[in-house]
């Protein structure tokens, strides 16, 4: 991913000499390939094949645990067709249920019932896109932000507190609550960025630990009078005021809220930040090679801190999508597993804002579909986790996918491309 | 990515950081010492904390240990502030801090805190032997997990997948143990399950050069998904057949087990509990006293140099990661064959990450990881006990402790905690 090649030279006051040299050097010498080879060996095809392979793995698991299949397996050699039919039935039922609960319910009576699954997908995709952008942004700066989970929690906590404690006019209340969410996430991300920049503390370790600290902090807060619902012993807050909630987009029968549009805005912002701004240029330069970036006069520590603050802010927005959008009340499970899913979203999106958008939509669809699949066919939603992680494993190792499908490949000159492909050139 | 993870910015930056870092430790000691002064000494509840050593069921009876919170609070605060002052003197003179300072400081802090917190409780009375023995039980899987981390990271492969290894081990031990009714089969299955996770990590990290943190994170999700899926589809359906594993018996060594406090810890354990001590010793001995250990450490610190003298870097790394899987698998079996009577969805609940924390806090050293895991097990157990006793410290803060302490450690606020130099860097032969 030659993300630095197509960039205008940055007008950066501190770098009078050769600013863009350091990060680009490795990518310039790739020879021109024909279009067909590009498609065949390119990342796009690998992504599609990875998704396909993962669905196959999911299908194997579904078939393996289906009772009809196991009961026909005992007489497989006398009547193999029975088992094959059973496998086909179980897998197709599952995936049809997945499709009908995530895209369009073809058997629905009315139009709104038919598109309801699609709006569910967009609803669930919203926090995934926000948090995925945060993880992706940090990847591009060479930071591994495992901490989206904690940043979501902090964002949701602050936004929720503003939502159910303050009494503000309509409009302003929502803005203040969203800002509070941004600040909460930014603080939590910023801690990791600060410790990385000033103390050289490994961000992977710090963000993992901050995730757990956030969980216990939230549980503690939910046991204090400021947060806990009066008269309740459960770790659950009051619902946020209507004035602080994201308005619904299509009325009360759909959960989809305007947070989704905000997420699209965040995609555009992140794209602009990374590809069109001086700051983004510096960030990518640091991500490509921190030593070279430092030599070129870029403040590496500032890039680390800033990127983690922005990444945290984006994850904080994911928190607002949860608390001000779908959940409305603060509980221990407010972040679900969105923070961890966000890592897979960013990897699938190859740390590119547009890619992250589509990856978020795909995983949103898998989640929404998984819920429907569990309800209709009894297949546990955990299968979605399995499919998701297989997608990322396959995507992270393009040579593996190529060797499975025997796609000819221009052997990567630099073996490190495998790593780079996964993090979108963040290495 | 991998480079930026493992290597710090060289040159001037390192020197600058070193200068800042040297003041960080004394400052941290000072702050913690002041916390002790204000909290434990001045904030003493002026009560007595009673620690019962024996509960009457033992052959030897030892009188209760009754400590005044005021005296211990002041004594502890003075010692801690003394250490802080000495640290300032050393740093000022440009000398390194003594190695004993951190462990001694931590021990004094823990004792002062314990006396203060028990003294402040509604029931200022605790069964010390039980508290400590429970800590060891909670710490055992953590210790196996962090030994797994030591084995793999010392060879240069970052192991974020400890959580997944433990969970896979717990699951396989439960299902195979239940189906065969055999403990040995259960443990072997746990090892196989955990080794499979390790092998995926090793293949992706070493053969496909995928970033090791990515593989680790994804493996954790994958194992959580797979085990939960099979739990819901297979185990829940017929739990007597698939999810009621046998349990290890406690082997009590006569006489020795009656020694107050130490008896239950060292002489009243299951085979896996005794195995934990053996594992700590073997990993320590292997890493620091054998040729194999020297090679492992060489590969983890400077793979190119190791390659130059004829060590097969990637093969050694591969087998070390596999060995890490063996150790973590035994730790996973501990969950379902010792502490709990059945498998449950995501039952490791972040313990793999506490093991990772112990590995880092213990500075990638098996003995250090052992004590760090013990400290974390203790804080976890104390949080349970304190909830029962009714104390001013919310249990959530006790549970937060391992994670917070680890951040302090990696930020260099309590001594330096540095990974092996080539940790996380794939090695490509040129």
Q: Does A213 contact B at CB distance below 8 Å?
A: yes
CA distance A65 to chain B (A): 7
Phi-psi region for residue B85, left (φ > 0), alpha (ψ -120 to 50) or beta? alpha
Radius of gyration (Cα) for chain B, nearest Å? 23
Q: For tokens 């912002």, name the residue.
A: A269
Helix spans in B232-290 (H):
239-242, 262-267, 271-289
The answer for A 86-105 residues in CB contact with B (under 8 A) is none
What residues in A contact B4, CB-CB < 8 Å? 142-143, 287, 290, 427
Q: For tokens 């310039």, name the residue.
A: A28
**Torsional sign, CA A254, A257, A261, A264:** negative
**Which residue from A minimizes the CA distance to B18?**
A199
Q: What pLDDT score was predicted for residue A424?
A: 43
ipTM of the complex in this document: 0.83
Phi-psi region for residue A370, left (φ > 0), alpha (ψ -120 to 50) or beta? alpha
Low-confidence ranges of chain B (pLDDT < 70): 1-22, 413-417
From the CB of residue B38, how many other CB atoms can be counted at a distance below 10 Å? 12
Q: What pLDDT score was predicted for residue A358?
A: 93
> Which residues does B232 contact at the CB level (< 8 Å), separation at least 6?
A380, A382, B345
Q: What pLDDT score was predicted for residue B61?
A: 76
Give the tokens for residue B346: 């995501």
> Mind listing the domains of chain B with CATH numbers?
24-120 (no CATH), 131-398 (1.10.3470.10)
Q: Does A339 contact B at CB distance below 8 Å?
A: no
Q: What pLDDT score was predicted for residue A26?
A: 39
Q: Do A396 and B353 touch (CB under 8 A)?
A: no
CA quadruple B285, B286, B289, B291: dihedral, nearest 10: 170
CA distance B9 to chain A (A): 7
Round to whole Å and give the CA distance between B297 and B287: 7
Q: What pLDDT score was predicted for residue B263?
A: 80
Q: Do A300 and B9 touch (CB under 8 A)?
A: yes
Round to whole Å and give the CA distance between B307 and A110: 68
CA distance B220 to chain A (A): 9
Round to whole Å and give the CA distance between B161 and B332: 13
Give the tokens for residue A200: 């050289």
Q: What pLDDT score was predicted for residue B26?
A: 83
Q: Do B208 and A423 touch (CB under 8 A)?
A: no
Round to whole Å and give the CA distance between B21 and B14: 10
Q: What pLDDT score was predicted for residue A147?
A: 93
Q: What pLDDT score was predicted for residue B92?
A: 84
Q: What pLDDT score was predicted for residue B411?
A: 81
Q: Do A396 and B214 touch (CB under 8 A)?
A: yes
Q: In chain A, what are the helix, strand and coil shares in percent, each to the nearest 5?
A: 70, 0, 30
Selecting from B210, B215, B406 the residue whose C-beta is nearest the C-beta of A209 gives B406
Return per-residue pLDDT of chain A as tens, 427 residues: 344 434 444 434 333 333 333 333 334 434 444 555 544 455 778 888 889 999 999 999 999 888 888 888 878 888 888 888 889 988 999 999 999 989 888 888 888 889 899 999 999 999 999 999 999 999 999 998 999 999 999 999 999 999 999 999 988 999 999 999 999 999 999 999 999 998 888 888 899 999 999 999 999 999 888 898 888 888 889 899 999 999 999 888 899 999 999 999 999 999 999 999 999 999 999 999 999 999 999 999 999 999 999 999 999 999 999 999 999 999 988 988 899 899 989 988 888 999 999 999 999 999 999 999 999 888 999 999 999 999 988 888 888 888 888 775 544 444 444 444 444 444 3
pTM attached to this predicted model: 0.85
Q: What pLDDT score was predicted for residue B91?
A: 85
Q: Do B217 and A379 touch (CB under 8 A)?
A: no
The answer for B 129-168 residues in CB contact with A (under 8 A) is 158, 160
């Amino acid at each position: 991913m030659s993300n630095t090649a197509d960039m205008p030279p940055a007008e950066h006051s501190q770098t009078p000499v050769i600013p863009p040299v350091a990060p680009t050097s490795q990518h310039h010498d790739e020879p021109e390939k024909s279009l067909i080879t590009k498609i065949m060996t390119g990342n796009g095809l690998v992504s599609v094949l990875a998704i396909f392979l993962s669905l196959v793995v999911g299908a194997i698991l579904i078939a393996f645990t289906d009772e009809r299949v196991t009961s026909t397996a005992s007489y497989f050699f006398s009547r193999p067709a029975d088992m094959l039919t059973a496998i086909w039935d179980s897998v197709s039922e599952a995936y049809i249920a997945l499709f009908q609960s995530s895209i369009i319910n073809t058997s629905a009576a009315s139009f709104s019932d038919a598109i309801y699954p699609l709006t569910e997908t967009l609803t669930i995709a919203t926090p995934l896109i926000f948090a995925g952008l945060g993880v992706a942004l940090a990847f591009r700066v060479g930071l591994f932000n495992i901490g989206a989970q904690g940043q979501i929690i902090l964002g949701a906590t602050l936004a929720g507190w503003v939502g159910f404690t303050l009494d503000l006019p309509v409009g302003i209340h929502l803005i203040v609550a969203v800002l509070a969410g941004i600040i909460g996430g930014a603080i939590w991300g910023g801690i990791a960025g600060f410790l990385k920049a000033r103390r050289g503390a490994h961000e992977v370790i710090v963000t993992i630990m901050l995730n757990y600290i956030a969980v216990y902090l939230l549980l503690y807060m939910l046991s204090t009078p400021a947060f806990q619902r009066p008269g309740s012993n459960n770790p659950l807050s009051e619902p946020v005021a209507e004035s602080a909630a994201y308005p619904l987009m299509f009325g009360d029968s759909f959960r989809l809220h305007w947070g989704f549009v905000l997420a699209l805005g965040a995609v555009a912002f992140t794209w602009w930040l990374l590809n069109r701004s001086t700051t983004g240029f510096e960030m990518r330069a640091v991500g490509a090679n921190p030593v070279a970036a430092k030599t070129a006069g870029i403040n590496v520590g500032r890039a680390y801190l800033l990127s983690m603050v922005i990444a945290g802010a984006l994850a904080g927005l994911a928190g607002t999508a949860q608390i001000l959008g779908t959940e409305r009340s603060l509980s221990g499970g407010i972040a679900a597993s969105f923070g961890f899913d966000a890592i897979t979203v960013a990897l699938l999106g190859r740390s590119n804002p547009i890619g992250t958008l589509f990856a978020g939509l795909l995983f949103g669809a898998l989640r929404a579909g998984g819920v429907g699949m569990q309800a209709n066919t009894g297949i546990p939603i955990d299968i979605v986790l399995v499919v998701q992680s297989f997608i990322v494993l396959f995507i992270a190792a393009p040579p593996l996918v190529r060797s499975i499908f025997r796609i000819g490949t221009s052997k990567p000159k630099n073996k490190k491309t495998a790593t780079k492909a996964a993090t979108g050139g963040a290495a | 990515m991998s480079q930026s993870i493992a290597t710090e910015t060289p040159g001037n930056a390192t020197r600058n950081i070193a200068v800042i870092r040297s003041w960080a430790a004394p400052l941290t000691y000072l702050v913690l010492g002041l916390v002790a002064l204000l909290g434990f000494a001045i904030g003493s509840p002026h009560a007595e904390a009673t620690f019962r050593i024996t509960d009457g069921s033992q052959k030897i009876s030892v009188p209760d240990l009754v400590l005044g919170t005021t005296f211990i609070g002041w004594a502890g605060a003075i010692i801690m502030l003394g250490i802080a002052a000495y640290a300032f003197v050393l740093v000022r003179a440009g000398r390194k801090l003594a190695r004993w300072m951190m462990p001694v400081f931590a021990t004094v802090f823990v004792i002062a805190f314990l006396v203060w917190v028990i003294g402040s409780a509604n029931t200022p009375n605790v069964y010390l032997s039980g508290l400590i023995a429970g800590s060891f039980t909670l710490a055992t899987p953590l210790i196996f997990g962090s030994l797994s981390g030591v084995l793999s990271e010392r060879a240069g492969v970052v192991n974020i997948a400890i959580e997944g290894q433990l969970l896979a081990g717990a699951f396989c031990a439960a299902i195979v143990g239940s189906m065969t009714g055999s403990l040995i089969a259960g443990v072997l299955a746990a090892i196989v399950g955990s080794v499979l996770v390790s092998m995926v990590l090793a293949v992706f990290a070493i053969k496909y050069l995928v970033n090791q943190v990515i593989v680790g994170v994804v493996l954790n999700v994958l194992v959580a998904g797979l085990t939960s899926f099979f739990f819901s589809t297979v185990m829940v359906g017929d739990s007597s057949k698939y999810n009621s594993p046998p349990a290890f018996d406690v082997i009590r060594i006569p006489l020795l087990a009656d020694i107050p406090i130490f008896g239950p810890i060292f002489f009243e354990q299951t085979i896996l509990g005794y195995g934990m001590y053996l594992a700590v010793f073997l990993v320590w001995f292997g890493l620091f006293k054998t040729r194999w250990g020297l090679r492992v450490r060489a590969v983890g610190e400077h793979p190119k140099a190791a390659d130059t003298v004829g060590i097969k870097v990637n093969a050694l790394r591969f087998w070390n990661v596999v060995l890490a899987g063996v150790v973590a698998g035994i730790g996973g079996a501990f969950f379902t064959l010792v502490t709990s009577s059945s498998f449950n969805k995501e039952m490791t609940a972040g313990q793999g990450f506490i093991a990772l924390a112990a590995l880092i806090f213990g500075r990638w050293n098996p003995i250090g990881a052992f004590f760090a895991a013990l400290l974390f097990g203790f804080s976890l157990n104390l949080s349970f006990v304190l909830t029962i006793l009714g104390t001013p410290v919310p249990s959530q803060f006790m549970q937060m402790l391992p994670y917070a302490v680890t951040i302090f450690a990696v930020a260099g606020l309590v001594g330096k905690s540095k990974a092996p130099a080539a940790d996380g860097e794939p090695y490509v032969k040129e």
